[in-house]
Amino acid sequence: MNFIIWIIFGGLAGWLATMIVGDDARFGIAGNIVVGIIGAFLGGWLADKMGMGGSPGAERPSSMVSFITSVIGAVILLLILNLLF
């Protein structure tokens, strides 16, 4: 069940990121899912490096904060991809 939630969550985050960057419909559904999932990891890693990530014993971030972090990570990923390609 968690796998399906990751796919839906990644797809929404990737789709929203492509709308923000202006690459809508460039990657398709599968691409949006991949961009969203990789963006979630990238956003979480960046938040942790900037001191905004969770620490042991701290509360887990809310779903909305996680989604926003995923979208930000996906936008950064798309901007990097646009620079490279």
pLDDT along the chain (85 residues), means of 10: 81 91 80 90 87 59 83 93 88
Q: Which regions of the chain does DSSP assign to beta strands (E)?
A: none
Going by C-alpha positions, the residue among 12, 7, 22 that lies closest to residue 67 is 12
Residue 33: its pLDDT value, please?
87
Domain tally, the chain: 1
Q: Quote the DSSP letter at residue 1.
A: -
Alpha-carbon gap, residue 53 to 55, rounded angstroms = 7
Element spanning 36, H or E: helix 28-49
Distances, alpha carbon 33 to alpha carbons 10, 11, 50, 52, 83, in Å: 5, 4, 25, 25, 20
Reported pTM: 0.82
Residue-number span of the structural domain to which 11 is assigned? 2-53+61-84
